[in-house]
Amino acid sequence: MKRYVRESPIFLGLTGFLKRVKRYIPGGVSGKVLPFFFMSPFFILISVMWFAPVGITTYMAFTKTQWTITNMQFIGLDNFVRIFTRDIRVVDTIYITVLYVSSVLAINAFFSLVLAIFTTYFIKKEPISMAIRLAWLIPRITPAVIYALLWRWFIDPNIGLLNTLLGSLGLPTPRDWLLTPPYSQILMIAVNGYVGASFGMIIYSAAITSIPRDIFHAAIADGATDLQVCRHIILPLLKWPIFFVTSWQCLSLISSYEHILALWAGGAGVARAAEVEVWALYAYSKAFYASEYGYGAALSIFLVAIGLIFIFIFFRVFGFERMMQPSKVEV
Amino acid sequence: MASKKSGYRAAIRKAKLMNLLKYVIVYSVLLIPLVPILSMIAWLIVQSFSEGPTSGLIPRGFTFENFRFLWHPIRFGLSEYPNIWPIVGNSLILAVGTVAFEIPVAALAGYALSRMKFPGRVATMKLIVALHAFPGVILLIALFYILNRLGLYGKGILTLIGVALVKAGLGVPMDTWILKGFFDGIPWELEWAAMVDGCSRFQTWRKILLPIITPGISAVAIFSFMGGWGEFLLAYTYIKRREFYPISVFLYSVIGEFVFVDWGLLAAVALFYMIPILVFYALTQKTLLKLQLVGAVKG
């Protein structure tokens, strides 16, 4: 430290003050207070960015907050009455959300299992399976906007590749993938499925690699086919990882909308017209496009509740240990 | 005897055929779904050096003209940006800000969780896991209120810093957890030695332990830098003035506002934006897979 800083009155005053404070803390700073000194920035950040928002969302759900977010008027249950009785979008949105979550979950939890078994059990050469796994990671590490742009090219009827490929297979080639409903929903499922597939794949792969090879060799020596090894050895051992990935992905899918928002760009209307507006996106667009913050909060309260319920279940079913090491296999 | 031998041969041939069939199925399931993704990446590279829109993946000529945005004003439809670099700067502020808020907090808390006994330690660790599972994106409305109350909304550069703060807050539980794991790996004896020699706990942390886990800290820092660099949703929601758009929001506005015709320019900007991520991806493959495993990136 520079000498003029060290001897400046402000610095001397500050250190003197700290020394004086130290004297009044029982056990000194190094005693019971020190852990909280280390933890306090963490707790402050967590309170401002997690606890306060949960509280504010809950309160805001019972208010009419429109145009300016700082101006809340308490209106009781009015927002919820509106959701259940007057809002015509709700039924459609629930349908789209269920379709979205269940279809993408099938890819994220089960297709990823196929990917993991194929890359770890069938392909014996580690560099090849690692290259394939890394290729499957591309959609996840690509920023959402770039990913959306890439899909925009891929589905473009004039210069994109999708319709050319489909045409050569004799399948229908819609002009506008983004806005024609059944196709737009297929697109939504594919776009999000690619992003989520790698999560399950990595967890399962780690679990399968931790199974002792001897078990496989013994089974093969006894005349088991590869299919039987998968069915009777790998799947039973992967019970917990499968359950973990399914429930974890279910929660994150219910609340995710970033990729839908990025691909169906251009305000609230586009995603709605394409029938890809999931519940979380509906809450978002009510708040940030229509400026009905209170109503948006009321819609997202359901998601907060679902999140809390899921976390409760996580702790009950998995316990703390299994949640931190989902890929541990008990042989 | 001879017939038995040929029977063996047939069986072996059949087994070989089955084996081949097995690998054909395995590789086609693994690779055919990757065709769209790999073709998209190939297109991005081809298109950014192509003179006109590509047909499929075949470029039309070769040019660096698409990269003129690096030193020329950019024109998309009706809107014109005098220069790309302020926008790059905004992205950098966001990314560096995220790291600056996130890493010190996580390193302090990770140390305390790893090394100190205090009431509520186990509860805090459970809390971290719960927060990691809880989807932060659904709190965006309330976070908007908080940014307003903190006076960080609509204030230009301050808003960018506010977004970095939110991003850091959402990411800090997992980083704390990862850094705690790194601290767990350091033997206690090192700390004792330091304290016997007269270091305080804070000095031990600062001068002995931090240098040891520099690799861990830099891995986490790179991850959170990439998180800030690629951030779209928070920036798009909270930053409304065009001068303060990071690259992601800038690209989004270009895609959304106009029926764009200049695919080449768009691909070039996108490729430029991807460069740090591609470099990072190439350099940290193993760490990437490992950190994915502990859930550094949310599913």
Confidence of residue B152 (pLDDT cuts 50, 70, 90): confident
Q: What does the pLDDT look like over A19-60, one tens digit per residue? A: 665 555 544 455 667 888 889 999 999 999 999 999 999 999
Contact yes or no for A255 and B274 at CB 8 A:
no
B92/B161 same-domain check: yes
Euclidean distance between the first and final Cα of chain A, in Å? 57
Under DSSP, is residue A266 helix (H, G, I), strand (E, B) or coil? coil
d(CA B162, CA B240): 13
Regarding whether B137 and B19 lie in a shared domain, the answer is no
What is the structure's pLDDT at B67?
A: 82
CB-CB neighbours of B105 under 10 Å: 25
Q: In chain B, which residues have their Cβ closer than 8 Å to the Cβ of A304?
A: 138-139
Nearest CA in chain A to B142: A53
Q: How many CB pairs under 8 A join A and B?
A: 275
- Amino acid symbol at B190: L
Six-digit token string for A93: 């949105």
Does some domain include residue B229?
yes
The single-letter code of the amino acid at B250 is F
| Better pLDDT: B109 or B72 | B109
* pLDDT less than 70: residues of chain A: 1-32, 266-268, 324-331
Q: What does the block give as tokens for A204?
A: 């399962």
d(CA B81, CA A231): 59
Asked if B285 has any chain A CB less than 8 Å from its own CB, the reply is yes
pLDDT of residue B288: 65
Domain containing B96: what range?
83-293
Chain A residue closest to B291 (CA)?
A: A202
Kindly state the helix (H) or strand (E) to which residue A173 belongs, with its residue range: none
What integer pLDDT is reported at residue A121 of this predicted model?
Answer: 87
Q: Are residues B88 and B202 in the same domain?
A: yes
Residues 197 through 236 of chain A touching chain B, CB cutoff 8 Å: 198-200, 202-203, 206, 226
B76: three-class secondary structure by DSSP = strand
- Compute the distance between CA of residue A83 and CA of residue A81 in angstroms, rounded to an integer: 5
Mean local confidence (pLDDT), B114-118: 85
Are B158 and B240 in a shared domain? Answer: yes
DSSP B198: T
**Alpha helix stretches (DSSP H) within B32-136:** 34-48, 85-115, 121-133
Q: Are B60 and B54 in contact (CB under 8 A)?
A: yes
B74 located within any domain: no
B38 located within any domain: no
Question: Residue B169 pLDDT more than 60?
Answer: yes
Domains delineated in chain A: 1-42 (no CATH), 81-324 (1.10.3720.10)
Residue A174: CB partners within 8 Å, gap ≥ 6? A163, A180, A183
Average pLDDT score over residue span B234-253: 88
Contacts of A252 in chain B (CB under 8 A): 135, 298-299
Q: Specify the range with the lowest mean pLDDT, choosing from A22-36, A57-71, B15-29, B97-111.
A: A22-36
Please report the pLDDT score of residue A11 as a whole number. 67
> Is residue B99 within 8 Å of residue B224, measured between CB atoms?
yes
Domain total in chain B: 2
Determine the residue of chain B that is closest to A57 in CA distance.
B142
Residue contact A143–B229, C-beta within 8 A: yes
From the CB of residue A106, how many other CB atoms can be counted at a distance below 10 Å? 14
Asked if A244 and A326 touch (Cβ cutoff 8 Å), the reply is: yes
B153: burial class by Cβ within 10 Å (0-12, 13-18, 19+)?
buried
Surface of B (145-204) touching A: CB under 8 A:
145-146, 148-149, 165-166, 168-170, 172-173, 176-177, 200-202
Q: What percent of chain B has pLDDT over 70?
A: 90
C-alpha distances in angstroms, A4 versus A1, A8, A13? 9, 6, 14
Let me know whether B189 and B108 are in one domain.
Answer: yes
Which residue, chain included where needed, has tokens 């029938």? Answer: A275
Per-residue pLDDT, A57: 92
**Which has the closest alpha carbon to A308: A324, A300, B147?**
A300
- A129 closest CA partner among A113, A117, A140: A117
**Residue A262 in contact with partner chain B when CB distance is under 8 A:** yes
Residues of B in contact with A137 (CB under 8 A): 288-289, 292
Q: What are residue B83's phi and psi, to 5 degrees?
A: -160, 145
Range 240-259 of B in CB contact (< 8 A) with A: 248-249, 251-252, 255-257
Same domain as B133, residue B10: no
> Is there a single domain that holds both residue B121 and residue B212?
yes
Contact A327/B at CB under 8 A: yes
Residue B46 is assigned to a structural domain of this protein: no
Q: Is residue B178 part of a domain?
A: yes
Note the pLDDT of residue B257. Answer: 61
Residue A168 contacts B where some CB pair is shorter than 8 Å: no
Here the ipTM equals: 0.86
Q: Which residues pair with B159 in a beta bridge?
A: none
Q: Residue A134's CB: how many other CB atoms inside 10 A?
A: 17
Contacts of A287 (CB under 8 A, 6+ apart): A293, A295, A296, A297, A300, B140, B141, B144
Residue B248 and residue B120 in one domain: yes
The burial of A331, by beta-carbon neighbours within 10 Å (0-12 exposed, 13-18 middle, 19 or more buried), is given as exposed
- 3-class DSSP assignment, residue B125: helix
- Does the beta-carbon distance from B201 to A161 stay under 8 Å? no
Which H helix or E strand runs over A197? Answer: helix A181-209
Which pLDDT score is estimated for A41? 92
B146 interaction partners in chain A (CB closer than 8 Å) = 48-49, 52-53, 56
Residues B8 and B136 in one domain: no
DSSP lists the bridge partners of residue A64 as A73
Residues in chain B: 299
A112, A162, A158, A151: which is closest to A260 by C-alpha?
A151
3-state secondary structure of A285: helix
Asked if residues B81 and B87 have their Cβ atoms less than 8 Å apart, the reply is yes
Instruction: Identify the DSSP state of A48.
Output: I
In chain A, which residues have their Cβ closer than 8 Å to the Cβ of B249?
Answer: 145
CB contact under 8 A, A143 and B230: yes
C-beta neighbour count of B36 within 10 angstroms = 20
Regarding whether B185 and B123 lie in a shared domain, the answer is yes
- Cα dihedral across residues A7, A13, A18, A19: positive or negative: positive
Check whether residue B137 and residue B225 sit in a common domain. Answer: yes
Residues B286 and B195 reside in one and the same domain? yes
Residue B48 lies in a domain: no
Q: Output the six-digit token pair for B165.
A: 């703060």
> Contact, A279 vs A307, CB < 8 A?
no
Query: Taking all residues of chain B, what is their mean pLDDT, rounded to a whole number?
Result: 84
CA distance A317 to A327: 15
- CA distance from start to end of chain B: 61
Which neighbouring-strand residues pair with B74? B81
Does any domain span residue B281?
yes
Q: Is residue B44 part of a domain?
A: no
Give the pair of three-digit tokens for residue B276. Answer: 């740090």
Residue A203's identity, in one-letter code, is I
Query: Residue A10's pLDDT is what?
Result: 67
Best of A68, A111, A153, A208 to disrupt the B interface (most B CBs within 10 Å) is: A153
- Mutation target to probe the B interface, by most B beta carbons within 10 A, among A54, A149, A195 is A149
Higher pLDDT, B122 or B256: B122
CATH code of the domain in which B157 resides: 1.10.3720.10
B164 pLDDT more than 60: yes
CA angle B69, B74, B77 (to 5 degrees): 140
**A255/B270 touch (CB, cutoff 8 Å), yes or no:** no
